[in-house]
Amino acid sequence: MPATSLDQIVALAKRRGFIFPSSEIYGGLQGVYDYGPLGVELKNNIIADWWRTNVYERDDMEGLDAAILMNRLVWKYSGHEETFNDPLVDCRNCKMRWRADHIQGVCPNCGSRDLTEPRPFNMMFRTQIGPVADSGSFAYLRPETAQGIFVNFANVLTTSARKLPFGIAQVGKAFRNEINPRNFLFRVREFEQMEIEYFVMPGTDEEWHQRWLEARLAWWEQIGIPRSRITIYDVPTAELAHYSKRTFDLMYEYPNIGVQEIEGIANRTDYDLGSHSKDQAQLNLTARVNHNEDSIARLTYFDQASGRHVVPYVIEPSAGVGRCMLAVMCEGYAEELTKAIPGEKLAAVGEALNAFLKSVGRSEKLSGEARDAILARGEELTQALAERLPEVEQLLAMPGADQIELGKKLRGQAQPLIDEHYRTVLRLKPRLAPIKVAVFPLKRNHEEIVATAKAVRRQLQAGGRMRTIYDDTGAIGKLYRRQDEIGTPFCITVDFDTIGQGKDPALAGTVTVRDRDTMAQERVPIAELEAYLRDRVSA
């Protein structure tokens, strides 16, 4: 089952080093996050998968990496200076600011209805280029990567000698001064986009729009978001952006946040190339564009069949990397019992817990209400102990000498049980997993076992294809749980059998390979490890 609460993902992301708040030691910066050691791997793997699918595995695509800073005129003629606005309202009571279309006429902070009329707020960040702050030095941080593609259309067309239809793919940072950044990675002020601008002959645009919808759904499925988990929102005409003839928003149901856009697939007509072209009057544009008196290029395509210059239509699939990563983590997340707890062990823990609850009931320090609540749930807690570690932890944290004594006893009994029977697992597609293989020595102070484990790690990493780590910081069970939580598809253990000192001499030169999802273990000869893992880690 996927994550049931965003908190599960936020906690895991922090605990294991996927995501950190930006500038945390100075109190953070709202709407900005840093990708930690595991986050950067997952993010890079998502981007690489998108690039491979959309650039390498197609015959009709080129890549591009345009600069974030661009001439201000780009944003004038793209329409962003005029229209890239969100409706801003102020709460007169508590002074909080909100996006009018995100609230229900009442301040979500204080409940006041005393709000200002919505007014347009331009979301582009401004900066200054060069040492002199005058009007000529003014620039924006790009709020989308798409414009870098449009203004390079002629460059790519002439250097690649492409014929329509063809597309340009780009991944890069975008910045939006969101009024209310929130919901972790979902709405932030600095993020990455994976965008395609696909250029087609006018008249074939509707068909290509449908084809891209299918292609994009197939990609989401490939990275672990099944078709059944995505809703297609066919944006009603009244809600369409001014440049769009039709837009499909792909929506994913995030826990707590609800059904939200992860990707927009827009038919942008000839609006973009037409907007950035000179001689617009001669281009037979269908889109309404602002008169361009600054561009030095005609962004057209010579169609040999008709002998005419045409302005291609554009289909744009545009996805956010952060929203994608959040969806992939939510979808792959599971907390589960790994096997049924044997009756007598449960009874022993139950006894300790009951004694503990009794003691809590006598405690002067506990409020009556809390005591009653705990006693009422005593049996249920006992039964479901392994699934309810956080609640048990809460009980253990309560004050009072008896509690501490019993708490210790309980923890002592419960922890191994819980460790053995309960786990959090991130079922990422192996190709996305930050770490593909983790290698453990069964004994961390045994020279030969350690040396063999390190050699196995080096051998697998040397292939360059699978990120492999060595870890000896705990008992094997604990190490498995850590790797389960971060989505590592395979763990390898080097033991006495491996080095020929175990019970079975036939196992010399083999290691245990454990599968994250099935938890099944297999003995594999070291010499065959790479072949065994190669396809499995790129699945």
Q: Which residues are annotated as a binding site for substrate?
A: 99, 144, 191-195, 316-320
Of the pair 188, 283, the CB lying nearest ligand ATP is at 188
Of the pair 176, 436, the CB lying nearest ligand ATP is at 176
Binding-site residues: 99, 144, 176-178, 186-195, 261-262, 316-323
Report the residue number whose CB is nearest to ligand ATP. Answer: 320
Shortest separation between residue 39's beta carbon and ligand ATP, angstroms: 15
DSSP 26: G
Per CB under 6 A, 316 contacts ligand ATP: no
Query: CA separation (Å) from 132 to 125, 129, 137?
Result: 18, 8, 7
Out of 49, 178, 270, 471, the residue judged to bind ligand ATP by CB under 6 A: 178
Of the pair 173, 308, the CB lying nearest ligand ATP is at 173
Q: How far apart are CA 360 and CA 371, in angstroms?
A: 7
The residue length of the chain stands at 539
- Phi then psi for residue 250, to 5 deg, are -90, 125
Of 179-208, which residues contact ligand ATP (CB under 6 A)?
187-188, 191, 193
Of the pair 157, 266, the CB lying nearest ligand ATP is at 266
Per CB under 6 A, 209 contacts ligand ATP: no
Per CB under 6 A, 320 contacts ligand ATP: yes
As separate numbers, helices (DSSP H) first and strands (DSSP E) second, the chain gives 17, 23
Instruction: Identify which range of 161-169, 316-324, 393-401, 440-448 contacts ligand ATP by CB under 6 A.
Output: 316-324
Of the pair 247, 483, the CB lying nearest ligand ATP is at 247
Per CB under 6 A, 322 contacts ligand ATP: yes
Q: How far apart are CA 517 and CA 426, in angstroms?
A: 9
- The secondary structure of 83-136 as a DSSP string is H-EEEEEEBTTT--EEEGGGS-SS-TTT----BPPPEEEE---EEE-SSS-SGG
Per CB under 6 A, 213 contacts ligand ATP: no
CB count in 10 Å sphere of residue 511: 24
Q: How far apart are CA 194 and CA 319, in angstroms?
A: 5
Q: How far apart are CA 159 and CA 167, in angstroms?
A: 14
Shortest separation between residue 176's beta carbon and ligand ATP, angstroms: 5
Q: How far out from the chain centre does Cα 444 lie?
A: 35
Of the pair 165, 181, the CB lying nearest ligand ATP is at 181
Out of 319, 328, 442, 513, the residue judged to bind ligand ATP by CB under 6 A: 319
Shortest separation between residue 254's beta carbon and ligand ATP, angstroms: 12
Q: How far apart are CA 529 and CA 183, in angstroms?
A: 41
Of 444-473, which residues contact ligand ATP (CB under 6 A)?
none
The site map against ligand ATP for 248-267 (x = CB under 6 A) is -------------xxxx---
Per CB under 6 A, 148 contacts ligand ATP: no
Per residue, the 3-state secondary structure of 257-321, as one string, reads CEEEEEEEEEEEECHHHHHCCCCHHHCCCCCCCCCCCCCCCCCCEEECCCCEEECCEEEEEEEEH
- Site residues, ligand ATP (CB under 6 A): 176, 178, 187-188, 191, 193, 261-264, 318-320, 322-323
